[in-house]
Amino acid sequence: MVSEHFKNHGIKDLGRDADVTCQWQNCGMKGSRHNYVRHVRENHLGHARGVGHKPNLW
């Protein structure tokens, strides 16, 4: 689980709007904890937003 992994990097017990700094090598992006997972997925893992999701047909 992503949240369990981030605990190993000191990102734990933080509110949604808490500021975090990305520890990925040569990054250092500062932003809210709420957007951190998206930042890692899009910027470091190459996952485009919305790709691989099934459309909501209802």
pLDDT digits (tens, 9 = 90+) for 7-47: 777 777 888 899 989 989 999 999 998 898 889 889 998 88
Locate 45 and state its tokens.
């893992």
Return the exposure string of 21-32: e unless at least 16 CB atoms fall within 10 Å of the residue's CB, then b: ebeeeeeeeeee
Distance CA 38, CA 56 (A): 20
Kindly list the domain boundaries of the chain, sorted by start residue: 2-44
How far apart CA 8 and CA 44 sit, in angstroms, is 18
Contacts of 26 (CB under 8 A, 6+ apart): none
pLDDT score recorded for residue 52: 66
pLDDT at 3 over 90: no
